[in-house]
Structure 1
Amino acid sequence: MQLNKLSFNVFNTIDKYNLINPNDTIIVGVSGGPDSVALLKVLYAINTNKRLHLHLIVAHLNHQLRGKDSEEDALFIQKLSEELHLPFILKNVDVHKIAIQTKCSIEEAARCERYKFFIESSRTYNASVVALGHTADDNAETILHRIIRGTGLSGLEGIPIKRQLTGDSSTQLIRPLLYTWRNEIIEYLKNEQADFRIDTSNYETKYLRNKIRHELIPLIENQYNPNFRNTLLQLSQILNINNKYLSSEAKKTLETVIIKRAEDSYIINSHLLSKQSKIIQYFIFYEILMEMQIPLKEFSYAHYTKIIEETSKKGKGRQFQLPGKLHLWHEKGILYIRKTPLQKSFIPIPETIIQIPGITPIYPSGQLTAEISDVQNLSLDEYKRIKTKNEEILDLGRITLPISVRGRKDGDAISPLGTKGHKKLKDIFIDKKIPAQQRNAIPVVVMNDQPIWVIGVCIDNKVKVTPETKKILKLTFQKL
């Protein structure tokens, strides 16, 4: 069977962007409308013609928004699946009820439920690909929609032809028809004598997306630029190239300003960050939000601007909250970003290897200076008389390098100088009446992850200076 013009063009798109590989299991999202029906038929034809041995699975979510029409959509797609001898997945969801419960629009609730359905289906069938029927028209409408609503450079890229289905998934979401115009699809279906369903709600102009499609774009094409949709797509392609470069630069820069990263938090050196251009800072925060899986649609230009302005300020620590339950604390050149509320007293001290000799920053509290000297150059009695609580000397010969500094951990214990046995840090803090809200801010020097000096509190017996000591390690902590 020879491929027709549309199928041949779509195959070239698939090949160019490496959307599909032989033997892939593909969830094909089919609403019953012309775009998704064309997608299914084209993929079926390509699979047969090119002998790709694809496992196509038809998936339909019944939104239950149009009563009998919704039921007939599902029956139509089931019949189409049977005609093509393909598996069929159907899920019924009361989108109207969900929209009320989640206090969001019908459109947003429907979109969320569709993607939940595709994620569930891909996991159930171990699918490597989810294919959707977005077209060039959809892309142009999306770009214009975002301009009207307000967007940044990333939003102007439009709809991606391929992306991960979820941040932690190997399953790809693809759109093989993204460079195909809707009039080409209608002509294809007409030539194939293929039926499809019409969703009358797509013509209701009470929805902004429909007003853009049926009123605004025709107005601009008729009175200003007959090639307007192509102009929008050209804009998105230019910005895509631009943004790829900026994103690449931002990712490289991000690695130089990160102090610590975890699944739900980042600690950033804002001194280094603020030296970057504003556009690179913007893309750095965009990358962070992406990695933390914060809903980008909730972020406006004002939010990005607020982060950049706050991190450039000096003075007392400031805490503020952003959409997606994102909490930020900025203090003394350090920016803390977390998904959970962050109190200053609970700011974690990231583990850092101590430079010996040298100066080691301890975020967020200060820095640690390490010096090595011969014991004969030291008068122990004189040192004990003048030393402060934030400096200590240790027997270098009893230390296994490297040693690190970090915050306390549950279960940490030490053998305090002059005592027998070990004692938990928690009990030592209680005995010394150190307030609970201050304990996480106390740096702890560790060897093999065991505390040897709780700064300002006590050192461990095993590293104490003795008459046999030959070289000493002097550690001095300076608060910022």
Structure 2
Amino acid sequence: MSHSVDQQICDGWPPEAWQDVVVVAAVSGGADSVAMLRALAGLSADSRRNLVVAHFDHGLRERSVEDSQFVAELAQSLQLRCEIGHADTDLHEASAGSMEEAARNARYEFLTKVARRCGARYVTTAHTADDQIETILHRILRGTGIAGLAGIPLTRELAPDTTLVRPLLTCRRRDILRYLQALGQSYIDDETNRDIEFVRNRIRNELLPQLAEQYNSRVDDAILRLGSLATETNSYLDSLADGLIETHVSLREDFVELNCYELSLLPTLMIRTVLMRIWRRMGWPEQDMSYQKWDELAELTLRRSVANLCLPGGVIATRAGASLRLSRD
């Protein structure tokens, strides 16, 4: 193994865990995703059989057609199957913030379809440690809890039979650029990454350099360490919450019932964690569940009187006696 990027991928996601199943690699053509593809192709025992390249054209850049052609040619040079997708609607019509969200949703919908079509067990994206740093700092600025401080997880469920994996999550971008240089591999330089219209780009290009220059030269390491500690804390709280769900919560197909008498003896932090785990198990939308909403729901668990609470995503919470029922319209 000739480079630290290969080694870091192997440490976090050993090839023996994925080289006998189909893996869809999401490749934009940028440095990170190209490095990921080259590394996976090199580590796979039979990349032509188990690796599929997927590229989604959002239609947001003038050179998007050239980007698609670059990825297709790269896949061909590696003798890999390549799937190209295109946005069905004009994402430019959205505002800066919602456009990013709309683009992300469209991209993951495409990746899910490709995975289903190819029978893929895994889909990989090229998030790096630098993305992790930016994500955690962004969440701090917007306001977040312990779960948010954990940042981007290494894996998450994309579909019932497909797991999303981020094999470069411990790799720094500077190492990725050295890796590509050593391979003599070209990549696309996306000029939109420097567009300060987007908050994420301002964090990357303005705020982080200023923090490093004026406050802490190792701010990147400090943020990554914070994320690691938050991940450990979350894992512990989640394991406790799962045990409490098994003993004090009834999960049905269309509703959930909680034993409030037992749960009310717990700290509010633990009650909120139980509720968040229930949301994930039921597949209910979490995005609009603010800290205030989680706190209101936890407070409802502690009450003894009859009360109702309407929550984002069409979830209704009804407290009656010692029980709290959660259902979705």
Give the TM bin, normalised by the shorter chain. over 0.9
Which residue does the alignment assign to 1:63? 58
* Contact 1:96/1:106 (<8 A) preserved: no
TM-score normalised to structure 2 length: 0.94
Q: Note if contact 1:47-1:54 (Cα within 8 Å) is conserved in structure 2.
A: no
d(CA) in 1 for partners of 2:227, 2:260? 32
Change (3 A) 1:9 1:311: closer
Residues 263-305 of structure 1: CA deviation (Å, up to 9, x unaligned) = 2310112122211111110110010110121222221111111
CA contact (8 A) 1:29 1:130 kept: yes
Q: Which amino acid aligns with 1:307?
A: L
Give how far 1:94 is off.
Answer: 4.2
Please state if 1:312 is matched with 2:302.
yes
Counterpart of 2:73 in structure 1 is 79
State the SS of the aligned residue for 1:154: helix
- Separation of aligned partners in 1, 2:43 and 2:49: 10
The residue number in structure 1 matching 2:223 is: 232
1:108 corresponding residue in structure 2: 101
- Aligned partners of 1:99 and 1:291: how far apart in 2? 34
Aligned counterpart, 2:42: 45
Relative to structure 1, the CA distance from residue 85 to residue 288 in structure 2 (aligned partners, 3 Å threshold; closer, same or farther) is: same
**Aligned-pair distance for 1:142?**
0.6
TM superposition shift of 1:135: 0.4
User: Does 130-139 or 267-276 show the bigger shift?
Assistant: 267-276
Aligned 1:7-406 pairs, distance under 5 A: 7-15=6-14, 20-47=17-44, 55-67=50-62, 69-94=63-88, 96-97=90-91, 100=94, 105-166=98-159, 169-258=160-249, 260-315=250-305, 317-340=306-329
Higher relative contact order (CA 8 A, sep 6+): 2
Provide the C-alpha distance between the structure 1 equivalents of 2:126 and 2:299, rounded to a whole number of angstroms. Answer: 41
Residue 103 of structure 1 deviates from its aligned partner by: 11
Q: Which runs of 4+ in 1 moved over 4 A?
A: 51-54, 97-100
CA contact (8 A) 2:59 2:91 kept: no
Segments of 5+ residues of structure 2 without an aligned counterpart are: none
Work out the CA distance in 2 between the residues paired with 1:171 and 1:305.
Answer: 33
Going from structure 1 to structure 2, the CA distance change for 1:225 and 1:88 (only over 3 Å counts) comes to same
Q: Distance in 2 between matches of 1:175 and 1:13?
A: 9
Instruction: State the superposition RMSD in angstroms.
Output: 2.1
How many residue pairs align between the two structures?
329
Q: Given residue 54 of structure 2, which amino acid in structure 1 is its aligned partner?
A: A
Q: Which amino acid aligns with 1:216?
A: L
CA distance in 2, matches of 1:221, 1:279: 33
Letter in 2 for 1:31: S
Aligned-partner SS, 1:297: coil
Distance 1:121 1:324, change over 3 A: same
CA distance in 2 between partners of 1:43 and 1:199 (Å): 22
Alpha carbons of 1:335 and 1:5: their partners in 2 closer, same or farther (altered >3 Å)?
Answer: closer
Q: 1:187 deviation in Å?
A: 1.4
Taking only the aligned residue pairs, the percentage that are identical comes to 33
* TM-score, L = length of structure 1: 0.65
Q: Which amino acid aligns with 2:17?
A: I
After superposition, the Cα gap between the structure-2 partners of 1:5 and 1:273, relative to the gap in structure 1 and judged at 3 Å, is: closer
- Higher mean alpha-carbon deviation, 281-290 vs 236-245, is at 236-245
2:3 corresponds to:
4
Q: 2 CA distance for matches of 1:280 and 1:217?
A: 33
SS of 2:41's equivalent? helix
Q: Which has the larger displacement, 289-298 or 202-211? A: 289-298
Structure 1 unpaired stretches of 5+: 341-480
Q: Which has the larger radius of gyration?
A: 1
